[in-house]
Structure 1
Amino acid sequence: MIQTAPLRAQNPAAAVALMVLATVFIAGTTLAAKALGTDTLGAPLHPLQITHGRFVFAFMGLLCVAAVLRPKIKAPNLRLHLSRTVCGAAGVTLMFAAVAFIPLSDATAISFLNPVFGMLLAIPFLGEKVGPWRWAAAAIAFVGALILLRPGPDTFQVAALLALGAAMAMGFELIFIKKLADREPAMQILLINNLIGSILLSMVMIPFWISPTMAQWGVLIALGLMMAAAQTCFINAMARADASYVTPFSYLTLIFASLYDWAIFRAIPDWVSILGAAIIVSGAALLAWREAVNSARLRRVTHSGGGRV
């Protein structure tokens, strides 16, 4: 019998607080990655080396939590875990590469496309049907991404394509997360994900390794711990309230990323960044709303004993 996570009592206020805290940490990880990928703290580190630090130190942080909670690891689907980790590592590495060249606000906004890619990929991989509302949400979000790419010979941002690739890789990751979430408890998923990521990145980043400065070691540790904290806060937020209620608060990541970028790098979003981000968030919010409507409709049908959604 596969272990399932126990249901938590619903607490919307705590869920919102945890989700906001998660956005603070997530924005902090992109800030740390930008500091490590530029010459702010020493010679720039390769994105693969930064991703390696993210997995290793996140795993160490989660291991400390596991030592207290003592979760039982039962029947992990290693094929799904490996697929999820490869996609997630690719997405994180591309994201870390992007933030070294473009504003945090632009990269963060483009990353909000990952649920859109997840929706599109769910059609062939999960057999899901997509209605007109969700297609409209996807179209709106992609218009925003096109604006942030700044098409034109003098303004086109090649680095923004890295963020777009990150969103696509994370969209693939969502497919595997959906499959894992129905089979295994959250702590087991996090531990195995970060363990596999640590092993994989330890091998692939060897050719790109350079000795970090003391400041860079500190930021690498902070990056991993912030990611572990963000994942923990996010999962606990989703366990304490409906996803449709707490998901909109995840868009605060964009606000915190912009504030961090301004405070540390004095980067101020221009009107193109603000317009593109607003359109992407609108599309992602429409998609989240439609998912909530579909979930509520499915619950009503299930409770009534049948019918067609």
Structure 2
Amino acid sequence: MTQPVLAVLLTLGAGLLYTLGYAIAKILSGSLDPVQITFLRSVLVLAGAALWLPRLADPAGALRRLIRPPQAMGQRLAAGMLILSTTLAVLGYSLVPVTEASALGFTAPIILVLLGALVLRETVTPRRWVALGFGFAGMLAVVRPGGELFTWAAAVPVSAALSYALYQVMTRRIRGVADEWDATLQGALAGVVLLAPVMPWLWRVPDIAALALVGLYAAVQTAALLCIAGAVRRAEVSGLAPWHYSRIVFALLLDALLFARVPGAWALLGCALIAVGGLVLAWPRRAG
């Protein structure tokens, strides 16, 4: 399997896991604050890493790498952006239905193409622009601008998408010194350090069911982070951008399964346009 193909598969896997994770977070937001959800996820990831640490060949070296990582400023800035994105996304999904929140999040691939071209100097081919155009049209069909969705709450998923796009660009820029686990653990450490100071004001005592859901959410989101970190290390972020649109399909399915929201005709049209965008990108080039 080639590296670009593996990057696409990792991106699709991340899309499914991210959407599932935020659907779980939406359920959790009925009893816990979104900031507390992100904080607890970070604590659980660090706890899991601490339990695994003695099994490593060089536990002391792994601990030093966590506390004093190479290119520390770059890794910590990326980790902080990840925590901002995750917190905003959890808040956005608590305010907006899953399908609509995911659709608004599809501003991220558009931003990724622009950032990939401007910051990383990546080449954005006409094919990618056409694929993104279909994807963006699909997003508009799902959301239907001018409808009841367009309130102040809609700005939250868009802000999450922007910070997530910046996180992916930052992750790619440090790919030579940080792997998937570095990105995941630095994000968890940043979540604990940055969010702990506000916990005395936001803390709500979780019951057993909530703790179980937090554990599931942490596992799903960590797997998604590993997938996306692996993807952006193997391919250009602008090349992966159209594949992020697969999340709308997962969102439609989860909305129906978990929240009994059956997608309408406009949502299905949006999914079709997104699929066309993926086919445009994947269509083989002519030889010569």
Q: Give TM class, smaller chain.
A: 0.7 to 0.9
Equivalent in the alignment of 1:120: 114
| Mean Cα deviation higher: 241-250 or 19-28 | 241-250
Please tell me the residue identity of whatever aligns with 2:208: M
- Partner residue in 1 for 2:38: 51
Cα gap change, 1:153/1:247 in structure 2, threshold over 3 Å: closer, same or farther? closer
Residues 14 and 228 in structure 2, CA contact (< 8 A), matched pair in contact too: yes
What do residues 31-59 of structure 1 show as CA deviations (whole Å, max 9, x unaligned)?
A: 21110123xxxx3x222112212222233
Question: Of residues 42, 48, 57 in structure 2, which corresponds to 1:61?
Answer: 48
Verify the 8 A CA contact 1:147 1:272 in the aligned structure 2: yes
Q: Is the 8 A contact 2:79 2:187 kept in 1?
A: yes
Give the 3 Å change call, closer, same or farther, for CA 282–59 of structure 1 in structure 2.
Answer: farther
Give the aligned partner of residue 305 of structure 1. none
1:30-49, aligned counterparts within 5 Å?
Answer: 30-38=22-30, 43=31, 45-49=32-36
Q: Closer, same or farther in 2 for the Cα pair 1:262/1:271, shift >3 Å?
A: same
Going from structure 1 to structure 2, the CA distance change for 1:163 and 1:16 (only over 3 Å counts) comes to closer
Q: 1:87 to 1:64 in 2, by over 3 A?
A: same
CA 1:260–1:66: 2 relative to 1, 3 Å? farther
TM-score scaled by structure 2? Answer: 0.75
Contact 1:113–1:141, Cα closer than 8 Å, also in 2: no
Residues 10 and 239, structure 1, Cα contact 8 Å, conserved in 2: no
CA-CA distance at 1:177 after TM superposition: 0.7
Residue 179 in structure 1 maps to residue 179 in structure 2: no
Q: Give yes or no for the alignment of 1:225 onto 2:192.
A: no
Gap change, CA 1:238 and 1:54, over 3 Å in 2? same
Q: 1:278 to 1:67 in 2, by over 3 A?
A: farther
Question: When the two structures are aligned, how many residues end up with a matched partner?
Answer: 279
CA 1:119 to 1:246, structure 2 compared with 1: closer, same or farther past 3 Å? closer
Amino acid at match of 1:68: R
Q: 1:63–1:286: structure 2 CA closer, same or farther, 3 Å change rule?
A: farther
- Conservation of the 8 A alpha-carbon contact between 1:61 and 1:225: no
- Cα distance in 1, alignment partners of residues 180 and 195 from structure 2: 22
Alignment map for 1:228-267 (pairs within 5 Å): 228-233=222-227, 253-267=247-261
Q: CA deviation at 1:259?
A: 3.1
The TM-score normalised by the length of structure 1 is: 0.71
1:282 CA displacement: 4.7
Aligned residue type for 1:207:
W
Could you say if the C-alpha distance between residues 245 and 152 of structure 1 is closer, same or farther in structure 2, counting changes exceeding 3 Å?
Answer: closer
| Structure 2: gaps spanning 5 or more residues | none
Supply the distance in 1 between the matched residues of 2:166 and 2:238 (Cα, whole angstroms): 21
Per the TM alignment, residue 21 of structure 1 is displaced from its structure 2 partner at its CA by 5.8
CA change 1:197–1:172 in 2 (3 A) is same
Match of 1:297 in 2: none
Distance (whole Å) between structure 2 residues aligned to residue 46 and residue 178 of structure 1: 31
| Identity across the alignment (%) | 27
C-alpha distance in 1 between matches for 2:182 and 2:35: 25
Query: 1:290-305 maps to which residues of 2 (within 5 A)?
Result: none
Which residue is equivalent to 1:298?
A: none
* 2:17 counterpart residue number: 25
The corresponding residue for 2:95 is 101
Distance 1:37 1:258, change over 3 A: same
Structure 2 counterparts to residues 187-206 of structure 1, below 5 A: 187-206=181-200
> Which shifted more, 254-263 or 93-102?
254-263
Alignment partner of 1:164 is 2:158 = yes
- Give 3-state SS (helix, strand or coil) of 1:100's partner: helix
Shift in Å, 1:266: 0.9
CA contact (8 A) 1:149 1:157 kept: no
- Per mean C-alpha deviation after superposition, the further-off stretch among 230-239 and 137-146 is 230-239
Contact 2:81–2:167, Cα closer than 8 Å, also in 1: yes
- Tell me how far apart the structure 2 counterparts of residues 112 and 56 of structure 1 sit (CA, whole Å): 29
Give the superposition deviation at 1:243: 9.8
Change (3 A) 1:235 1:178: closer
Gaps of 5+ in 1: 1-8, 294-309
Amino acid of the residue matched to residue 228 of structure 1? T
Deviation for aligned residue 1:92:
1.6
